[in-house]
Amino acid sequence: MISVPKQLWKIEKKEDIFKMEIIRFLTAGSVDDGKSTLIGRLLYDSNALASDLKSILEQNKNEDGSINLALLTDGLKAEREQGITIDVAYKYFTTKNRKYIIADAPGHVQYTRNMVTAASNSDVAIILIDARKGITEQTKRHAYIAFFMGIRYVVLAINKMDLVGFSEEIYHKIMNDFRSLNLDFEVVEYIPISAINGDNVVFKSENMPWYKGQTLFEFLETIEIQRDLNLDDFRFPIQYVIRPNTDEYHDFRGYAGRILCGEVKKGSEVLVLPSMMKTKVKEIYKYPEYLEEAKNGASVTILLEDQIDISRGDMIVGNRLPYVSKEIEAQICWMSQEPLKPNTKLFLRHTTKEVKAIVKSILSKVDIENYTEQPIQQLELNDIGKIQLKLSEEIFYDPYTMSRYTGSFILIDNENRTVAGGVIIQMLDYNI
C-alpha cells in the first residue's frame, strides 16, 4: 500500500483549521454499490484516520485478510447485521486545504427520505454506480433529488471497474447514459473507480491507463464551490426572545437566531415581519462580545433601537422584502407509508415558524424513468411531485434558487413525524 506523505496533511497552526473552507458532500447510489467502502477507502488511503480507528480496522479484517472498510460508516447494529446502511452516517476529516463533512445516504428505495436529508445541506453529490449494472432507477431518483435540492456539483463514481475488466467501453457507455438524462448540473465529473482496491480514489489507477482525469480525492481538493451567499438580502428569523429580567439587564431585549442570508451591521435599517415596523440595529451580540457586523451563517443576538412586539417565527429583514404568502406551490418528496391526498391536514415548518397546512391540490408526479410530470391523484412513498398548500398563517420566504434555507420546508403529521421535505416554487397569493 502506498501511503500519503504526512506533510500533505500537516496543518501549520491550530487556528488555521477554523479558517478552512468546509466542503459537504454526500454519497448515494443503489444497494451494494459500495458507498460505505468508498468512504472507508477515502479515509484510509488519505491517512485521515485516527490511530485507534486504524487499529479497529486492523483487528476486524475480512476472511481473506483485506480490511473491512465499511466498518467506518456502518455504525448501526442493525445495518451491520444486514450489511446495509439504513440511516445517514456522517464522517468528518481534514486535509491541509479543506475540512470535509461526509453524508453516507442509504441505498434502499424505502430510505429515499434520508437521501433528501443528506442532499439538503450538501455541496457535492457523489453518485455511485455498479459498473456491471449501469444506470438504474435508483440512480435516476438520486440524481433527480440532488438536482431539485439544489446541488450543482456531481461526481458519477463508476465503481467495481475491477469486475468488468477495467473496461473503457463500459465506462463510456455509462457516462453517455447519464448524460442522456439531461439534468442541468453545473459540473459533472465521471470517475472510474474500484473502491475495494483503491483505484482512482486517492491514487491514480495503473489498471486504467486510458483514464486521464482526476482521482476522486483530487476532485474534492480542487473543486471550486461557488456558493450563492447573497450578502444583499438580509434574512434573520427569530428563534428566541431573550429577556433576562435581572437588575443588571433590566432593559435587555435581544432576538436570538441564525442569519440565513445576507449580512447586518450595527446601525443598519431593518424591517420586522409581519408587523412591517421599521427600526435600526442597536447592537449585535455574539458571546462573549459585541460585534460591528455579522454575516450569513452566524448565530447572534440582535438588539433593536425601538421596542417592538416580536416573537419566535417573526423575521427581521433588510431593504428587499421576501415573499409573504399563505398559499404556495411546492415540489416535495413524500416520505410516509400513508399516501398523500388532497385535503390532508399537516403542519409546515419553515425556518423557525410552524403553521397549520392543508393540501389544496396535488398537481403532478415526476416519472423517475424520464423526468416528465404526470397528472396524479395522490403521492405514494418516495414519490416526487408538485402540490399546492394553503397555510393558516403567512410565511416569509425566497425562491429556493436564491436561498436553500428560506426556500425550503418540511411537513409534519399529527404525530410529529416528518412526512415530506420540499422546496417552494412560487406563491399563489401575495399579501404584503
Give the span between the Cα atoms of 197 and 142, in whole angstroms.
25
Give the span between the Cα atoms of 266 and 24, in whole angstroms.
31
Q: By three-state DSSP, how is residue 211 classified?
A: coil
pLDDT at 429: 54
- Out of 63-67, 221-225, 344-348, pick the least confident: 63-67
pLDDT digits 0-9 by tens, 324-336: 999 999 999 998 9
Q: State mean pLDDT over 28-49.
A: 81
pLDDT digits 0-9 by tens, 43-82: 888 877 766 667 766 777 776 667 777 666 554 444 344 4
Q: What percent of the chain has pLDDT over 90?
A: 58
pLDDT at 250: 62
**pLDDT above 90 for 394:** yes
pLDDT at 163: 96
Q: Say how far residue 171 (Cα) sits from the centre of its chain.
A: 28
- Out of 121-135, 247-261, 385-399, pick the least confident: 247-261
**pLDDT above 90 for 37:** no
Q: Which domains does the chain have, with CATH numbers?
A: 6-222 (3.40.50.300), 235-317 (2.40.30.10), 323-427 (2.40.30.10)
- Smallest CA-to-CA distance from 333 within 418, 405, 428, 413 is with 418
pLDDT at 2: 34
Mean pLDDT of the chain: 84
- For residues 105 and 384, the model is more confident at 384
pLDDT at 76: 40
Assess contact for 43 and 214: CB atoms under 8 A. Answer: no
pLDDT at 81: 43
Q: By three-state DSSP, how is residue 70 classified?
A: helix
User: How do 187-192 and 235-237 pair as beta strands?
Assistant: unpaired
Give the span between the Cα atoms of 111 and 382, in whole angstroms.
8
**pLDDT above 80 for 123:** yes
pLDDT at 79: 39
Confidence grade of residue 269 (pLDDT, cut at 50, 70, 90)? very high
Give the span between the Cα atoms of 114 and 103, in whole angstroms.
10
